[in-house]
Amino acid sequence: MQLLLGATLIDGTGAAPVSDAAVLITDGRITAAGPRQAVSWPADAEVIDLSGLTLLPGLIDCHDHLAAHGYGLPQRWGLQEPHSTVHMRTAAVLQQTLATGYTTIRDAAGLDVGFKLAMAEGLIVGPRLMLAVNIISPTGGLGDRVSPSGHDCCVVFDPMLPPSVANGIHEVQHVVRAMARAGADVIKCATTGGASSRPGHGPKDIAFTKDEMRALVEESHALGRRVMCHALGGPGLRMAIEAGVDSIEHGCYLDEDPELLAMMAEYGTFFVPTLTVYVFHRERSAPHVRERGRELYPHHLASIQQALEAGVKIVAGTDAGGHEHNINARELQYLVEAGLTPMQALQSATGWAAECLGLERDLGTVTPGSLADLIAVDGDPLQDIALLQDVQRIKLVLQGGAVCVDRRVEQLVH
């Protein structure tokens, strides 16, 4: 039994902070939380003094690509270095990501189930993982690996990352089942191009038909998987929402059709804008990508502001991997700059994020019954959301009650 004592608690539900809090942990789960005087604990509880720190739920990034290490074709296709080196690199990213206070990651394609198995066995450490495995799209869509000059991907087939191109209802059903077989916890699909997709398949170009999308959502839900859908704008965005996907990833042009956000609010569809990746696309990507990134930027901001007004839950995701790793908390700063309050930005990476994953009973809030995934940080993120990007200020990281990172000693030394 552990007792976290003395911190200011921000519990991930949006409730006001509680100063001088006590959080009791029994067998890896939170059994009591609140002001010190409202919590009782046995005399033999191990007391962890967090005076002067802010205690939060472990952070969640709902759109990451932990196994991606660059946007260039050689990196994307795994031609740059031996696969073993890539896997080691990915394992290092997992460890570093956990050390930045991110205790759960939804990987939006590219990470195979082997990493989860290795973690369960204790071979490597990292955040809890929810895996999409691969991106399902039709021929010519986001999941179709063809180079700009028309060449097929030349990488050896990896059964843990099954082919993800599907045309027609039957193929869609087959590929969804294949993803589930390969360990997908969530089904990722794409109904539009993106900023970084090839010329000719842009953010408003549709992929899939209504019947294919309905089949995809129905099959995924039948298998107990939620659907996260890459959709930026145009008819593919509407089609995804109407088909009943559970989250819209990117959603840059939601502002162009007022009905869309109203529908998302009604259906409970989450919005994962992934602002971080578009900063990269605007500033550092290939010329056609930079142009797309700059064009969509004002729409993206308007979409977020309208989503707030419509009551759509906004969830933090960085789309990291192609650009950088271990910058997950940058998204919270961008969300605040886009109009969220600091408290809403924290919810987007805690309580709302857990809801988006369907794991709100276990994760995202400091409430009795939840897993003790917690972080203690130096400073008040409601005053300065950017402090979460400074790894030295992430003083303590607990996952299921186990101490993964403890930088409190350094705090005393310096």
Q: Does 64 bind Zn ion (CB under 5 A)?
A: no
We find the least distance from the C-beta atom of residue 374 to Zn ion, in angstroms, to be 27
Is the Cβ of residue 247 or residue 350 nearer to Zn ion in the bound state? Answer: 247
Do residues 403 and 110 touch, judged by C-beta distance below 8 A? no
Shortest separation between residue 342's beta carbon and Zn ion, angstroms: 25
Query: Residue 37 burial by CB count (10 A; 0-12/13-18/19+): exposed, middle or buried?
Result: exposed
Measured from the CB of residue 392, what is the shortest distance to Zn ion in angstroms? 29
Q: Give the pairing type, strands 29-35 and 21-26.
A: antiparallel
Q: How far is the CB of 108 from Zn ion (least distance, A)?
A: 4
Sign of the CA dihedral running 180, 186, 191, 195? negative
Distance CA 135, CA 209 (A): 16
Tell me which residues in 83-122 interact with Zn ion (CB under 5 A).
108
Judging by DSSP bridges, how do beta strands 8-9 and 53-57 pair with one another?
parallel
Give the integer Cα–Cα distance in Å for 56 and 242: 35
Q: Give the residue with the Cβ less far from Zn ion, 188 or 299.
A: 188
Those residues with Cβ within 8 angstroms of residue 44's Cβ, 6 or more apart along the chain or in another chain: 1
CA dihedral 51, 409, 397, 328 (to 10 degrees): 100
Query: Residue 35 or residue 72: which is nearer to Zn ion going by CB?
Result: 72
**Closer CB to Zn ion, residue 61 or residue 319?**
319
Residue 22 or 62: the one with the smaller Cβ distance to Zn ion is: 62
Q: What's the closest the beta carbon of residue 110 comes to Zn ion, in angstroms?
A: 9
CB of 274 to Zn ion, least distance (A): 7
Site size toward Zn ion, by CB under 5 A: 2
Determine the Cα–Cα distance for residues 401 and 412; give it in Å rounded to an integer.
23
* Cβ distance to Zn ion smaller for residue 246 or 319: 319
Answer whether 234's CB lies under 8 Å from 203's CB. yes
Q: How far is the CB of 65 from Zn ion (least distance, A)?
A: 6
Nearer to Zn ion, 29 or 77 (CB): 77
Q: How far is the CB of 203 from Zn ion (least distance, A)?
A: 13
The number of beta carbons lying within 10 Å of the beta carbon of residue 224 is: 9
The closest alpha carbon to 207, from 163, 164, 259, 246, belongs to: 164
Question: Which residues, in sequence order, are bridge partners of residue 272?
Answer: 249
Q: Are 240 and 249 in contact (CB under 8 A)?
A: no
Euclidean distance between CA atoms 35 and 163, whole angstroms? 52
Contact (Cβ atoms closer than 8 angstroms) between residue 329 and residue 389: yes
Provide the CA 146 distance to its chain's centre, in angstroms. 26
Taking the least distance from each CB to Zn ion, the nearer of 219 and 319 is 319
Q: What are the φ/ψ torsions at residue 130 (nearest 5 degrees)?
A: -120, 120
Residue 108 or 345 with smaller CB distance to Zn ion: 108
CB of 319 to Zn ion, least distance (A): 4
Rounded CA gap, 126 and 66, in Å?
11
Question: Site residues for Zn ion, window 307-326 (CB under 5 A)?
Answer: 319
DSSP 388: G
Tell the smallest beta-carbon distance from residue 189 to Zn ion (Å): 12
The residue (of 108 and 260) whose beta carbon lies closer to Zn ion is 108
Give the pair of three-digit tokens for residue 47: 């007391």
Q: Which is nearer to Zn ion, 108 or 349 (CB)?
A: 108
The CB-of-187 to Zn ion minimum distance in angstroms stands at 14
Q: Give the interface with Zn ion as residue ranges (CB under 5 A).
A: 108, 319
